[in-house]
Amino acid sequence: MTSDLSIRIGGDAGQGIESAGAALARAFARSGLHVFATQDYRSRIRGGHNFYQVRAAQAAVEAQRDPPEVLLAFTRETVDIHIDRLAPGAGILYDASLPVDAGALHARGLAPMPVPLTKIAADHGSRVMTNIAGLGALAGVVGFPLARIDAVLREEFAAKGPEVVRPNLAVAEAARRYAATTYPDFVHRVPRGDARPRLLLHGNHALALGAVAAGCRFIAAYPMTPATTILEYMAAIGAEEGIVAKHAEDEIAAVCMAIGAGFAGARAMTATSGGGFSLMAEALGLAGMAEVPVVIVDVQRGGPSTGLPTRTEQADLLFAIHASQGEFPRIVLAPGTVPECFEAGWRAFNLADRYQCPVIVLSDLYLAGSLVTVEPVSLDWASVEVDRGELIDGGALDPDADGYRRFAITESGISPRALPGSPAAVYAAPSDEHTEDGHITEEIHNRVAMMKKRMRKEDTALRNSIRGPARYGQESARITLVCWGSTLGAAREAAALLSADGEPAAVLHFPDLWPFPVEAATEALTSAGLAIGVEQNFTGQLAKLIRMMTGRQLDGRILAYDGRPFAPADIVQAVHRVLAGESDVHIEPGEQRLPAETEVGVNV
């Protein structure tokens, strides 16, 4: 029995790959295992190769691990694609009706395990249950109790009644029995769980939970992969939590609605991906000029334009920092783990209210959609604070005073904010330059004073709210992997692997990216040793930002932009190339990574 097992399930879209993989992840989590599960899918409704990878371990895991020890293949194409990307001695479970050469698999040192999945499904239920037969067969060969999977299936199909539940369970049991009897000596087994209850969440749900904890009362969004599940979740719990969820006609309308709700005093947000955020750029400037708090979540995917709709990337960092014309304060956060998504979800609203500006949360498809087990205490609702900033009671203002100055010039740059509706706090919030009381003007001295007032918010935020980079690992490590966002998990595991192999390594992760924490970053990089950037983009955007703000050029960069997330092994191999003299390592499709798809699908 191993302490860490990686399983890959592959087939065509429409064969139930995602549902089978998610069910297996839930079953593993409920047995007390630590789980990291992620899917790779094309942007089409049916057809085309998809796969789902589930990692089960006895210790916490924060990234996928390649190569896997087990492949469950529902098509011949799955075998062909993954055959060179499996661990030595890996088992390949496949439908016995597929034209697979078992001898060729044996010759590669793999273990072919044909099972009549389709026939078992047809005999005990229906052919559409072939994916369930695959789950049963998996349980049989890796020694996982089928009862855990059965419990998940009962929940999954409960709404459809016992006439659906019973045959699914029968199919799973028949396949388990066949596989366990036929292949009793398969060496790769599921680790034993510790029976501790854990949450199984992906980043989008964690971020939405954080927003709920913060008192978010309005979300407007236009569905766009991979941000859509944020809107879906908020809509599903809207009635229970008192949240208005609006499916807008487009991204421009969505952000304008959120800004309007924020102006009225509601904690408001929108969620989109890079293409939608591009459309929101003009309205972002409106929020900056009118000093309206609003939260915008950009769940990144491959670009430009429609790009790679169902693939991951980290290429919107510099765009988020500079989006919209002119200069105005904004705050940019980039959580790196599911618990950090929860924290960013509530913290973003506090920062938006405190500094009366837009707050942009950068996530990506990998972090947003991967299912990860987290300890319940890591989503610490008791630690959630609701800070509305300098929000004042307009009704307490003196109606006979010399007017309410919504944009009063202050030392901090933050003006006391009264919500609309009070006779003593009537004001305009124009998109043009304006005076302290909101009247439009182009007067030169006022322009200079208002620009300085607004931009002072960044200095105030830097002093009071912006976090420096977090360091993980040995203080005196020779190598420091510098990253942001979702690359944290793979980088931390890669650092551990490097350290165990005699190359002491640490990780420096930037969760707050703008205003950039110059002093903290400079201090951290001074003792970083060989600093190597790890990013999912072509140009090394964090490395550029660090050099622009601190003058420090990183000693190397590891860059991937094929739409696939880093595995720890990718980073380890690339670090050795940097140590051998390469300054920039561009990860290419190879043994550990899948090649780019060759067919054009239907974009979603």
195's CB contacts (< 8 A; 6+ apart) are: 31, 32
Dist. CA 494–CA 571, nearest whole Å: 6
pLDDT in tens, 154-180: 999 999 999 999 999 999 999 999 999
Q: What is the pLDDT of residue 600?
A: 33
Q: What is the pLDDT of residue 594?
A: 52
pLDDT in tens, 179-201: 999 999 999 999 999 989 999 99
Provide the pLDDT confidence category of residue 590 given band limits of 50, 70 and 90. low
Question: 404-440: b or e for each residue (b if 16 or more CB lie within 10 Å)?
Answer: bbbbebbeebbbbbbeeebebbbbebeeeebbbebee
Q: What is the pLDDT of residue 42?
A: 87
Lowest mean pLDDT among 114-118, 353-357, 400-404, 480-484: 400-404
Say how many CA atoms lie within 13 Å of 510 toward its Cβ: 28
Sequential DSSP letters for 272-327: E-HHHHHHHHHHHHHHHHHT--EEEEEEE-B-STT-BTTS-----HHHHHH-SSS-
Strands 268-272 and 530-535: unpaired
**Alpha helices by DSSP H, 356-486:** 365-369, 444-464
List Cα–Cα distances, 572 to 27, 114, 314, 484, 582, in angstroms. Answer: 31, 34, 20, 17, 14
Phi-psi map region of 195: left, alpha, beta (phi>0 left; psi -120 to 50 alpha): left
Q: What is the pLDDT of residue 2?
A: 73
Cβ(550)–Cβ(525) below 8 Å: yes
How much is the average pLDDT of 370-380? 94
CB-based burial of residue 483 (10 Å sphere; 0-12 exposed, 13-18 middle, 19+ buried)? buried
Identify the residue whose tokens are 């003792």: 527
393's CB contacts (< 8 A; 6+ apart) are: 418, 422
Phi, psi (deg, nearest 5) at residue 516: -75, 130
Question: 542-579: b or e for each residue (b if 16 or more CB lie within 10 Å)?
Answer: bbbbbeeebebebbbbbbbbbbbbbbbbbbbbbbeebe
Provide the pLDDT confidence category of residue 508 given band limits of 50, 70 and 90. very high
Cβ(493)–Cβ(534) below 8 Å: no
Dist. CA 153–CA 150, nearest whole Å: 5
Cβ(312)–Cβ(564) below 8 Å: yes
Q: What is the pLDDT of residue 55?
A: 98
Dist. CA 183–CA 438, nearest whole Å: 76
How much is the average pLDDT of 65-90? 95
Q: What is the pLDDT of residue 592?
A: 53
How much is the average pLDDT of 541-545? 98
Three-state DSSP state, 55: strand
Q: What is the pLDDT of residue 394?
A: 83
Tokens read off for 435: 């005076």
Question: To the nearest whole number, what is the mean pLDDT of the chain?
Answer: 94
Domains assigned to the chain? 4-182 (3.40.920.10), 202-383 (3.40.50.970), 391-464 (no CATH), 470-586 (3.40.50.920)
How much is the average pLDDT of 363-391? 95
pLDDT in tens, 258-314: 999 999 999 999 999 999 999 999 999 999 999 999 999 999 999 999 999 999 999
Cβ(300)–Cβ(363) below 8 Å: yes
How much is the average pLDDT of 16-32? 96
Provide the pLDDT confidence category of residue 596 given band limits of 50, 70 and 90. very low
pLDDT in tens, 275-286: 999 999 999 999
How much is the average pLDDT of 521-545? 97
Provide the pLDDT confidence category of residue 1 given band limits of 50, 70 and 90. low
Cβ(472)–Cβ(506) below 8 Å: yes
Cβ(511)–Cβ(537) below 8 Å: no
How much is the average pLDDT of 223-233? 97
Q: What is the pTM of this model?
A: 0.95
Provide the pLDDT confidence category of residue 601 given band limits of 50, 70 and 90. very low
Lowest mean pLDDT among 35-39, 46-50, 179-183: 46-50
Residue 512: name the closest of 468, 464, 460 by CA.
468
pLDDT in tens, 462-471: 999 999 999 9
Dist. CA 117–CA 383, nearest whole Å: 49
Say how many CA atoms lie within 13 Å of 40 toward its Cβ: 22
Dist. CA 357–CA 389, nearest whole Å: 11
Residue 105: name the closest of 78, 145, 133, 124 by CA.
78
pLDDT at 38 over 80: yes
Cβ(582)–Cβ(556) below 8 Å: yes
Phi, psi (deg, nearest 5) at residue 215: 90, 25
